[in-house]
């Protein structure tokens, strides 16, 4: 291939990437006929009858996010982002078929996809095995780390949690594969069930605070967090975003989904569901901070939220798989280590491991529960 052809293909790829991101971030560029109505219900404290909203969003945050996409895309195309490798070697795991009793085994598969095995249940969060986090199979953010578990080595899945409808979290090709193979119970937040049903998948959609019994002493509760949703730009916030608390006999699990800090009220609410044995917290996709801070926590904020929830153990996710933002590929775990040292969090309690690693989660201690003074650990919201 000639140099000129490689240059042309690189520019074409950049143009397609620009288009993909624009579909997600710039509703004014998308034809109105791509709008969708995913949910129809009465107005609430976070739904105005047409679109969902964060009840704790400040006017400054809303303005920054609404006005930021153009600048974000310009900076992306101009090369302000870090250069990631095209691939990172992965040693895949082969999890057991089941983990019984109160034992709990966790495997990070990549991005926000985590397999939690406990009490005979196999629980999967925001599954994505696709090569791209995109509405298109041929363009968009490409996976640089292969899934840490090959799909054929994935045990039968009982519960799937889908936090919101962005393509790196609601990946229809993967969900279809899981549905055809295992018929799992899919739990999500309001409106996302309509997207799944359109592809022949059944799902249970709940509002913030709703609790669903899974039989026995197992249950899942949809929790408030601070984010947004869209598949095609003009359908912005037509479906709800959420975190989850999973109740099991071996201890509660918190999955934060994709979230910014907001007013930190969701952290306080989640802490009341504890004590937690495991927390799954995002630590990546946070630069440039002026644009991303409204909806994505950084490692410093994740460490402070860990301290507020005080789980027996936590796993840092949402980094090193798809390049969605500007930071270096290994910056999230490095910054997390620094934040842990600053807050006195021991290294083995909040881990950012390589994909494909499985680890047991220790049982809850008798003193487990939210730290009463942890709110003061959260940095000022004005921090850039």
**Per-residue model confidence as pLDDT tens digits over 4-37:** 665 555 555 555 555 555 554 444 444 555 688 9
Query: What is the per-residue pLDDT for 138?
Result: 87
Peptide bond before residue 288 is cis, with ω within 30 degrees of 0? yes
When pLDDT is cut at 50, 70 and 90, the band that residue 360 belongs to is very high
Query: What is the per-residue pLDDT for 234?
Result: 87
Lowest mean pLDDT among 57-61, 242-246, 275-279: 57-61
pLDDT at 377 over 70: no
When pLDDT is cut at 50, 70 and 90, the band that residue 80 belongs to is confident
Selected residue with higher pLDDT from 61 and 376: 61
Query: What is the per-residue pLDDT for 170?
Result: 98
* Structure tokens that stand for 110 in this block: 């990549």
pLDDT at 267 over 90: yes
User: Residue 276's closest CA among 369, 378, 162, 345?
Assistant: 369
Percent of the chain with pLDDT over 90: 74
CB of 210 closer than 8 Å to CB of 244? no
CA dist 122 and 155 (Å) reads: 8
Query: What is the per-residue pLDDT for 77?
Result: 59
Lowest mean pLDDT among 240-249, 284-293, 333-342: 284-293
Query: What is the per-residue pLDDT for 33?
Result: 58
CA dist 113 and 318 (Å) reads: 8
CA dist 89 to 2, 86, 356, 376, 378, Å? 28, 10, 11, 40, 35
State mean pLDDT over 120-134: 97
The mean of the pLDDT values for the chain is 88
Query: Any residues with CB less than 8 A from the CB of 240 and at least 6 apart, and which?
Result: 39, 46, 47, 52, 164, 189, 190, 191, 192, 207, 208, 229
Query: Any residues with CB less than 8 A from the CB of 267 and at least 6 apart, and which?
Result: 305, 308, 309, 378
Q: At what angle do helices 3-25 and 69-77 cross, to 10 degrees?
A: 170
When pLDDT is cut at 50, 70 and 90, the band that residue 290 belongs to is confident
When pLDDT is cut at 50, 70 and 90, the band that residue 383 belongs to is very low
Query: Any residues with CB less than 8 A from the CB of 289 and at least 6 apart, and which?
Result: 298, 384
CA dist 285 and 322 (Å) reads: 9
Q: What is the pLDDT of residues 174-205, one digit of tens each?
A: 999 999 999 999 999 999 999 999 999 999 99
The CATH H-level superfamily of 104-377 is Ribonuclease Z/Hydroxyacylglutathione hydrolase-like (3.60.15.10)
Query: What is the per-residue pLDDT for 159?
Result: 98
* Structure tokens that stand for 63 in this block: 């303005």
3-class SS of residue 342:
helix
CA dist 299 and 285 (Å) reads: 10
Q: Work out the widest C-alpha separation in the chain, in whole angstroms.
A: 66
Query: What is the per-residue pLDDT for 15?
Result: 54
Query: What is the per-residue pLDDT for 167?
Result: 97
Selected residue with higher pLDDT from 76 and 289: 289
Most confident of 11-25, 65-79, 80-94: 80-94
Query: Any residues with CB less than 8 A from the CB of 137 and at least 6 apart, and which?
Result: 130, 131
**Residue ranges of the alpha helices (H) in 218-320?**
265-271, 289-292, 299-309
Residue 94 backbone phi and psi in degrees, to 5? -130, 90
Query: What is the per-residue pLDDT for 325?
Result: 93
Query: What is the per-residue pLDDT for 291?
Result: 85
CA 347 to chain centre: 22
Lowest mean pLDDT among 110-114, 141-145, 214-218, 276-280: 214-218
Q: What is the pLDDT of residues 158-171, one digit of tens each?
A: 999 999 999 999 99
CA dist 316 and 165 (Å) reads: 21
pTM over 0.75: yes
State mean pLDDT over 366-380: 46
Instruction: Report the first-to-last Cα separation within the chain, whole angstroms.
Output: 44
State mean pLDDT over 110-121: 98
State mean pLDDT over 211-236: 94
Q: Is 66 exposed, middle or buried (CB count within 10 Å of its CB: 0-12, 13-18, 19+)? A: exposed
Lowest mean pLDDT among 65-79, 87-101, 148-162: 65-79
Lowest mean pLDDT among 27-41, 150-164, 318-332: 27-41
Selected residue with higher pLDDT from 68 and 357: 357
**Residue ranges of the alpha helices (H) in the chain?**
3-25, 59-67, 69-77, 172-182, 192-197, 265-271, 289-292, 299-309, 331-343
* 194, HSE (Cβ side, Cα atoms, 13 Å): 12
Residue 25 backbone phi and psi in degrees, to 5? -110, -15
Selected residue with higher pLDDT from 297 and 59: 297
């Amino acid at each position: 291939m000639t140099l000129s052809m490689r240059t042309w293909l690189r520019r074409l790829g950049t143009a397609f990437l620009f288009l993909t991101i624009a579909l997600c971030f710039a509703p004014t560029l998308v034809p109105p006929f791509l709008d969708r109505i995913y949910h129809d219900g009465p107005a609430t404290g976070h739904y105005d009858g047409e679109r969902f909203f964060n009840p704790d969003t400040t006017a400054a945050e809303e303005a920054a996010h609404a006005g930021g996409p153009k600048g974000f895309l310009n900076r992306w195309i101009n090369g302000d982002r870090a250069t990631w490798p095209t691939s990172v070697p992965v040693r895949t795991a082969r999890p057991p078929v089941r983990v019984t009793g109160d034992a709990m085994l966790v495997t990070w598969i990549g991005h926000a996809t985590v397999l939690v095995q406990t009490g005979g249940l196999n629980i999967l969060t925001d599954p994505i095995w696709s090569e791209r986090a995109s509405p298109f199979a041929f363009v968009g953010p490409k996976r640089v780390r292969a899934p840490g578990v090959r799909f054929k080595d994935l045990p039968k899945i009982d519960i799937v949690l889908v936090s919101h409808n962005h393509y790196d979290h609601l990946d229809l090709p993967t969900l279809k594969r899981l549905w055809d193979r295992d018929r799992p119970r899919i739990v999500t937040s309001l409106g996302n069930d309509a997207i799944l049903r359109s592809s022949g998948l059944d799902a249970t959609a709940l509002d913030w605070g709703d609790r669903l019994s899974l039989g026995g002493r197992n249950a899942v509760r949809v929790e408030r967090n601070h984010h947004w949703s869209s598949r095609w730009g003009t359908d912005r916030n037509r479906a709800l975003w959420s975190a989850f608390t999973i109740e099991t006999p071996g201890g509660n699990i918190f999955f934060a989904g994709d979230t910014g800090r907001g007013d930190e009220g969701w952290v306080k609410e989640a802490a009341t569901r504890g004590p937690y044995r495991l927390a799954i917290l995002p630590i990546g996709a946070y630069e440039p901070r002026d644009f991303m801070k409204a909806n994505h926590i950084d490692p410093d904020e994740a460490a402070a939220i860990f301290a507020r929830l005080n789980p027996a153990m936590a796993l840092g996710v949402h980094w090193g798989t798809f390049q969605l933002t500007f930071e270096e590929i290994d910056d999230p775990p490095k910054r997390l280590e620094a934040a842990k040292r600053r807050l006195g969090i021991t290294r083995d309690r909040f881990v950012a491991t390589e994909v494909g690693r499985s680890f047991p989660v220790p049982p809850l201690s008798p003193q487990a529960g939210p730290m009463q003074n942890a709110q003061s650990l959260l940095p000022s919201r004005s921090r850039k």
